[in-house]
């Protein structure tokens, strides 16, 4: 009989939850420790759903299948809204919260621990102890650190591996589809729209409403607008919230300074009409700074880094949640093949996930340079297709 390991997961977002349900299903005893004091709320508004992101839902028939909607066309428009190209790619889209809540519902509530911030790690020859800020010490055979770009675990294990600002941010927001004009609703009915700009680009697409509805007219329309802000005073200003606090990575909805929202609205008048309308009518606008991060290694005895804690890629490949899910599936497969032998599993897991993470970061970095600084992004370019392993895949 296989002796499955006891596993502790630090970080209860999509990556951590995917790992939790997969390893639980394998037979492991799994607990998730999340630093937030309440269940996480929607981050990033809309997300592109690559196959790996919702693989668990698709393969578990009891869950009802997909948690995303499909749009037929990947379309580019010019500043006047004229259609430049339309490829029938059938990519899928969802809300961050839709995927997160779906995974959370699959886990025993007693195994998801809120207000538990990991602050220390103690290694043993054949185990590990995670120390929490409240004084709790949790022992495990394996500690999976899925605590995001600002990972405490990574700072403890790799203090010199820090996120590097890419020179631009993503302005993001959503608007209920029903509030848009008939023309805008028609433009976005079955298409994701892109517009290439001088020194940036913007995309808009439909996602499920907060209740998960994908019915046209009830959906939300999400926008992501990449704009350059050089390091220094300009970047610091846009990342400083209404209370004067300098935010490290995200200025959340309701906290963006009015002068920056006003400037965004003025700038949006140069967008294609539908793009401008979506930006102008969005009431939950926020700012997400764009970073690169590459960890030189992922395994440290009985501790591993996964997801954004290990590699943070720019969003252009749309593989952030898919990469975290891929790390979780690869760990599941490695433990199963090793029949629960943690050390043997990690020896096979690490090199493959290192290679995947490096490839994703490299491709997203090249795309960001092309669109934001080199001016070489071209409407309809197949190299811009989303994908975890390569464009379109």
Same-domain check for residues 361 and 262:
no
- Same domain, yes or no, for 106 and 74? no
The mean pLDDT value for 310-318 works out to 96
Give the CATH number for residue 137. 3.50.50.60
d(C-alpha 26, C-alpha 144), whole Å: 15
Question: Residue 199 in 3-state DSSP?
Answer: coil
Where is the domain boundary, 228, 257, 290? 290
* Residues counted in the chain: 393
The model's confidence at residue 210, banded by pLDDT at 50, 70 and 90, is confident
What is the per-residue pLDDT across 149-208, written as a single tens digit (0 to 9) for each?
A: 999 999 999 999 999 999 999 999 999 999 999 999 999 999 999 999 999 999 999 999
With beta carbons less than 8 A apart as the criterion, state whether 256 and 131 touch.
no
- CA-to-CA separations, 258 to 231, 243, 253, 280, 285, in angstroms, rounded: 21, 11, 12, 14, 11
Q: What b/e sequence results for 47-61 when a residue is b if at least 16 CB atoms lie within 10 Å of its CB, and e otherwise?
A: bbbbebbbbbbeeee
Cβ distance 187 to 195 under 8 Å? no
Q: Is 167 left (phi over 0), alpha (psi -120 to 50) or beta?
A: left
Residues 78 and 190 in one domain: yes
Q: Are residues 137 and 181 in the same domain?
A: no
Asked if residue 151 and residue 80 are part of one domain, the reply reads no
CATH of the domain at 200: 3.30.9.60
Radius of gyration, alpha carbons of the chain: 21
Q: Return the closest-CA partner of residue 82 out of 367, 316, 301, 273.
A: 273
Contacts of 287 (CB under 8 A, 6+ apart): 169, 170, 171, 172, 238, 239, 247, 250, 251, 256, 260
Q: What is the pLDDT of residues 219-256, one digit of tens each?
A: 999 999 999 999 999 999 999 999 999 999 999 999 99
Q: Are residues 328 and 348 in the same domain?
A: yes
For 33-75, how does the pLDDT look when each residue is reduced to its tens digit (9 = 90+)? Answer: 999 987 776 655 789 999 999 999 999 867 777 889 999 999 9
Residue numbers of the domain that contains 87 = 63-93+166-290
Question: Are 171 and 251 spatial neighbours (Cβ–Cβ below 8 Å)?
Answer: no
């Amino acid at each position: 009989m296989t002796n499955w390991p006891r596993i502790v997961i630090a970080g209860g977002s999509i990556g951590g939850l995917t790992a939790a349900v997969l390893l639980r299903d394998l037979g492991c005893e799994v607990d998730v420790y999340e630093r937030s004091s309440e269940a996480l709320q929607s981050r990033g508004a809309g997300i592109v759903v690559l196959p790996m992101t919702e693989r668990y839902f698709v393969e578990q028939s009891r869950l009802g299948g997909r948690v995303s909607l499909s749009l037929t066309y990947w379309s580019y428009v010019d500043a006047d809204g004229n259609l430049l190209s339309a490829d029938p790619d059938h990519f899928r889209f969802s809300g961050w919260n839709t995927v997160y809540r779906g995974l959370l519902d699959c886990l025993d509530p007693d195994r998801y621990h809120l207000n538990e911030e990991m602050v220390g790690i103690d290694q043993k020859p054949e185990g590990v102890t995670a120390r929490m800020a409240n004084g709790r010490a949790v022992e495990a055979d394996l500690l999976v650190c899925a605590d995001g770009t600002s990972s405490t675990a990574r700072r403890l294990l790799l203090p010199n591996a820090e996120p590097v600002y890419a020179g631009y941010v993503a302005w993001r927001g959503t608007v209920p589809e029903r509030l848009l004009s008939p023309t805008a609703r028609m433009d976005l009915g079955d298409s994701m729209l892109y517009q290439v700009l001088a020194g940036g680009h913007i995309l808009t697409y439909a996602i499920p409403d907060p209740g998960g509805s994908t019915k046209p007219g009830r959906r939300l329309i999400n926008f992501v607008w990449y704009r350059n802000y050089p390091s220094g005073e300009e970047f610091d200003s846009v990342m400083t919230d209404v209370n004067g606090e300098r935010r490290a990575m995200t200025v959340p909805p309701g906290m963006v300074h009015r002068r920056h929202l006003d400037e965004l609205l003025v700038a949006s008048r140069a967008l294609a009409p539908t793009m401008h309308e979506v930006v102008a009518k969005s009431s939950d606008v926020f700012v997400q700074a764009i970073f690169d991060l590459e960890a030189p290694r992922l395994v440290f005895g009985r501790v591993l880094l996964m997801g954004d804690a290990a590699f943070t890629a720019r969003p252009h490949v749309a593989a952030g949640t898919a990469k975290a899910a891929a790390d979780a599936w690869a760990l599941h497969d490695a433990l199963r093949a090793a029949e629960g032998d943690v050390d043997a599993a990690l020896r096979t897991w690490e090199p493959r996930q290192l290679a995947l993470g490096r490839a994703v970061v490299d491709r997203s970095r090249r795309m960001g340079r092309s669109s934001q600084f080199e001016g070489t992004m071209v409407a309809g370019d197949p190299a811009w297709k989303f994908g975890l392993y390569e464009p379109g895949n």
